[in-house]
Amino acid sequence: MNMMSSGAARATSIGALAAVAAAASAFWVEQRARAAERRYQAHNHLVYINGTRLHYQLVGEGPPVMLVHGNLVHGADFEASGLLERLARKHQVLVIDRPGFGHSDRPRDQVWTPARQARLLHHAASVLGLDRPVVVGHSLGTQVALCMALQEPSSVAGLVLVSGYYWPSFRLDRWMAMPAALPLLGDLLRYTTEAWTARASLGQAVRSMFHPNPVPARFIELLPREMLLRPLQQRATLEDGSDMVPQARALAKQYGNLRVPVTLIAGAKDRIVTPRQTLRLQSRLPQARVHMLAGVGHMAHYHAHEQIERAIDEAFGAKRTGTIASFDPHVPPTVRPIIAAHEQRSRDEAKAPLPEAAVDRSP
């Protein structure tokens, strides 16, 4: 009996210590998040769309462009890359922090699928006076951009998709993200164990994104570490990351329904999303242009300013009637036939009626 009582007492003590440690961790994480938000306050503008606060930047004059950022980061990534400044010389450019990223919130009464986010961005663009922009999406932002074009093709002048994830595949990072993306359990983890895991792994994650190139100082300056580690941003990152595979599966059924000019850009050294994803999408979109950049990784928009700007200009120009594939001159010639082999595919699909918008599993 004494042994059982002693064991129960030890278990109670361990449980109490664990509870105290969890509470201390949660307090520390919350204080760090609040300090980061005070230090790095929203320096642009806020708009409320259907009760969701969105932080945005609208600069320049000319034909409109919308930039949609990827996972982990927020809208300042396009400023750090220099792409925003370049495009703003002759375009009106809108950058929005997607829900939960940067200074935008992420209401819990919504399931924030790419299709749901696309509807929100359509509404925001309309409210802010952006008429029929070319949408440039990076990484998981390409799923949102694709949904925008599928939902309202008449409201999108064209797509420029950079380093996108288009096809379902096994991804270990997705399975690792799932527990912390769950309601309640995820909240507990993001303030305890997941908070420390994210803190320990963020540096390597960012280096992998930029591999084989170094992380630019401008990225570190404009996307402070503590802002990326806040529980809200981590929730957005984990939810979007855990949902990327089923969303790619849903979108893959509709790529043939795209009716806007599409340009695909990827880095040949991408460690985050294999560039084969881009080549495979081009096989489904024979009218798409392709730029495969040698010596470049996942953050291809830091190196593809010229290609992105040209793609935007072409989207606003005359409607394409044929397939034109474009290549970085240093791409091995063996890659080119993979793309060019699809140039003679039938264009009958272009005459088919457009079905309903992208699948949205949210209520």
Minimal CA–CA distance to 132: which of 62, 55, 57, 65?
A: 65
What's the pTM?
A: 0.82
Strands 45-49 and 52-59: antiparallel
pLDDT at res. 164: 98
Give CA–CA dist 164/342, Å, rounded: 20
Q: Is residue 174 situated within a structural domain?
A: no
Is 10 contained in some domain?
no
Farthest-apart Cα atoms in the chain, separation: 87
Residues 6+ apart with CB under 8 A from 124: 47, 49, 54, 56, 94, 96
Q: Residue 250 domain-assigned?
A: yes
Res 39: pLDDT: 82
C-alpha 64/C-alpha 261 separation (Å) is 15
Give the pLDDT score at 309: 97
In a domain, 228, yes or no: no
In-domain check, residue 220: no
Gap between the Cα atoms of 166 and 160, Å rounded = 13
38 occurs within a structural domain: no
Q: What's the CATH code of the domain at 306? A: 3.40.50.1820
Closest CA to 147 of 323, 263, 84, 155: 155
Q: 237: which residues sit within 8 A by CB, 6+ positions away?
A: 71, 72, 100, 101, 177
Report the alpha-carbon distance of residue 282 to residue 264 in Å, rounded: 8
| Residues with pLDDT less than 50, the chain | 318-363
Domain containing 136: what range? 45-169+242-344
E strands of 33-179, at which residues?
Answer: 45-49, 52-59, 64-68, 92-96, 134-138, 158-162
The encoded tokens of residue 269 equal 């050294």
Give the residue carrying structure tokens 């769950």: 182
Reported as a single tens digit per residue, the pLDDT across 250-283 is: 999 999 999 999 999 999 999 999 999 999 999 9
The predicted structure's pLDDT at residue 221: 95
DSSP string, 121-140: HHHHHHHTT--S-EEEEETT
The answer to whether position 204 is within a domain reads: no
Q: What are the φ and ψ backbone dihedral angles of 134, each rounded to 5 degrees?
A: -80, 130
Backbone angles phi, psi at 52, to 5 degrees: -105, 125
Q: How many of the other CB atoms lie within 10 Å of CB of 283?
A: 14
Number of structural domains in the chain: 1
- Domain annotation covers residue 13: no
